[in-house]
DNA sequence: AAGCCGGGGCT
DNA sequence: AGCCCAGGCTT
């Protein structure tokens, strides 16, 4: 008689408790110091947990470690964030990518003011009702800030759990997601009082020891190596299976950096939807198949073709786009600017605007 | 269920 | 240079 798969994956609570204990011992000596880890897990400032966890979505911790302090310095409280303009929030998010997160975080701060008297709710259901907060981020706030025994599963946790179990599956697939949350909930139930530290330990182990391909996991120093099925069967590297590759779209972008007296330049705002939505940039023309010609670029800005001088060229890659930038540079007098080019800023004011990394790099290189 | 949204680090 | 990682929302 075949085993019921649900029964076959059942774990004795005593084994789960031992696993939790092992991880907690390991975390005590191996947690990396990060700006959002200023208090023990379960007793952190909910606002700092909210901001850092939204930043950490799809973003490496080392990157967040650099940019979080600047953000918290400017917006030290949920009231300060709610009172800010969206433009300024985007400026402080510049360089982090996935800029919709910044808008939703801003909206979440305002929602907390309106609905919860400026407090961040403790209930996971209420948390998930806030913009930009899903199952993972809601669990992280409930657990790491409020100390509740809530499970949480991010990419690191899913990978660790899959390898422990020797369970194949494609990262991020619905089936893997379902199973990971169920397993994480079982483990949290095995030691509800230690849930926050346990959650953090699982994520930290995944980030530093049980690393994703192509980095080889450091199984020889893993606190869970004795009970890891993937290690026993030599499958650590092949679990989880890679996601099917996505198609890459190429875009040809022609950017014209206008230089005015006093080291000033002209910027424009991108459309509210799509790539780099609502962010600022030097005037840019985008095409599907080729760069526009020097004449086309000059005509679009009502300049003489002779006033354009070649600048740097480089390719900017994102997950599913390749943007080939061709840069032109033109010195112009303020009185000769076309009407559509009305936002003139000093080079040293560009930090006050939300710019993509690509535009930041272009403007920095041309304006010095 | 599938597609959209950046950026940086690894080998 | 090429390949990889990862939440939440929208459609």
Kindly report, residue by residue over A160-175, the tens digit of the pLDDT.
999 999 998 888 888 8
Q: Is the CB of A137 under 7 A from strand C?
A: yes
pLDDT value at position A7?
42
Smallest CA–C1' separation from A211, nucleotide: C5
Whether A214 sits with its Cβ under 7 A from any strand B atom: the answer reads yes
Report the CATH superfamily, name and number, of domain A249-367. Answer: Nucleoside Triphosphate Pyrophosphohydrolase (3.90.79.10)
CA A96 to C1' C10, in angstroms, rounded, equals 21
Q: Is A242 near strand C, with its CB below 7 A from some atom of it?
A: yes
> What residue ranges of chain A are covered by domains with CATH 3.90.79.10?
249-367
Nucleotides of C under 7 A from a protein CB: 2-9
Tokens 């014209």 sit on residue = A256
DSSP string, A96-135: S--THHHHHHHHHHHHHHHHHTTPPP-SHHHHHTSTT--H
Sign of the torsion formed by the C-alpha atoms of A231, A234, A236 and A239: negative
Q: How confident is the model at residue A9 (pLDDT cuts 50, 70, 90)?
A: low
What is the architecture of the domain spanning A5-238?
Answer: Orthogonal Bundle (1.10)
Chain A 41-60 residues whose Cβ is under 7 Å from strand B? 58-60
CATH 1.10.340.30 spans which residues of chain A?
5-238
How far is A255 from A162, CA to CA, in rounded Å?
Answer: 46
Distance A319 CA to B5 C1' (A): 9
Catalytically annotated residues of A: 53
Mean pLDDT of A288-315: 94
Does strand C come within 7 Å of the CB of A205?
Answer: no
Q: Cβ of residue A169 near strand C, that is under 7 Å?
A: no
Percentage of chain A lying above the pLDDT 90 cut? 86
> What integer pLDDT is reported at residue A358 of this predicted model?
96
At residue A129, the pLDDT reads 97
Nearest to A321 by CA among A288, A364, A279: A288
Give the tens place of pLDDT for each residue, A89-130.
999 999 999 999 999 999 999 999 999 999 999 999 999 999
Q: Which residue is nearest to nucleotide C3 (CA to C1')?
A: A214
In the structure, how far is the CA atom of residue A299 from the C1' atom of nucleotide C7, in angstroms? Answer: 42
Tell if A250 CB is < 7 Å from nucleic strand C: no
Does residue A249 reach within 7 angstroms of strand B, measured from its CB? no
Compute how many other C-beta atoms are within 10 angstroms of the C-beta atom of residue A7.
7
**DSSP string of A44-84?**
S-HHHHHHHHHHHTTS-HHHHHHHHHHHHHH--SHHHHHHS
Residue A170 or A206, more confident: A206
pLDDT confidence of A5, banded at 50, 70, 90?
very low
- Residue A356's nearest nucleotide, by CA–C1', is B6
Helix and strand tally (H, E) in chain A?
15, 7
User: Is A307 or A368 the better-scoring residue by pLDDT?
Assistant: A307
């Amino acid at each position: 008689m075949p085993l019921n798969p649900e029964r076959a994956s059942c774990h004795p609570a005593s084994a789960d408790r031992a696993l939790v204990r092992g991880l907690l011992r390991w975390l005590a000596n191996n947690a990396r110091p990060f700006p959002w880890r200023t208090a023990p897990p379960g007793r952190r400032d909910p606002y700092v947990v909210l901001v850092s966890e939204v930043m950490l979505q799809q973003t490496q911790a080392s990157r967040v470690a650099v940019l979080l302090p600047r953000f918290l310095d400017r917006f030290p409280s949920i009231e300060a964030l709610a009172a800010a303009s969206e433009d300024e929030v985007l400026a402080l998010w510049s360089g982090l990518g996935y800029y919709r997160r910044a808008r939703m975080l801003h909206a979440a701060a305002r929602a907390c003011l309106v609905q919860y008297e400026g407090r961040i709710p403790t209930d996971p259901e209420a948390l998930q009702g806030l913009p930009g907060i899903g199952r993972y981020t809601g669990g992280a706030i409930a657990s790491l800030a409020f100390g509740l025994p809530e499970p949480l599963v991010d990419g690191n946790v899913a990978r660790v759990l899959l390898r422990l179990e020797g369970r194949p599956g494609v990262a991020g697939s619905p089936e893997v997601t379902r199973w990971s949350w169920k397993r994480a909930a079982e483990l949290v139930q095995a030691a509800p009082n230690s849930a926050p530290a346990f959650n953090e330990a699982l994520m930290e182990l995944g980030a530093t020891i049980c690393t994703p391909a192509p980095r080889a996991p450091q199984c020889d120093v893993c606190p869970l190596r004795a009970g890891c099925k993937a290690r026993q069967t030599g499958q650590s590297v092949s679990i989880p299976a890679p996601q099917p590759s996505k198609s890459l779209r190429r875009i040809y972008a022609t950017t014209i950096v206008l230089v005015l007296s006093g080291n000033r330049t002209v910027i424009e705002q991108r459309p509210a939807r799509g790539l780099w939505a609502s962010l600022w940039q030097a005037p840019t023309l985008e095409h599907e198949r080729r760069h526009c010609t020097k004449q086309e670029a000059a005509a679009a800005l009502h300049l003489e073709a002779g006033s354009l001088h070649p600048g740097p060229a480089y390719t900017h890659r994102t997950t599913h786009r390749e943007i080939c930038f061709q840069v032109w540079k033109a010195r112009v007098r303020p009185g000769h600017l076309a009407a559509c080019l009305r936002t003139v800023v000093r080079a040293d004011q560009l930090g006050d605007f939300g710019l993509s990394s690509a535009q930041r790099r272009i403007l920095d290189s041309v304006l010095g």
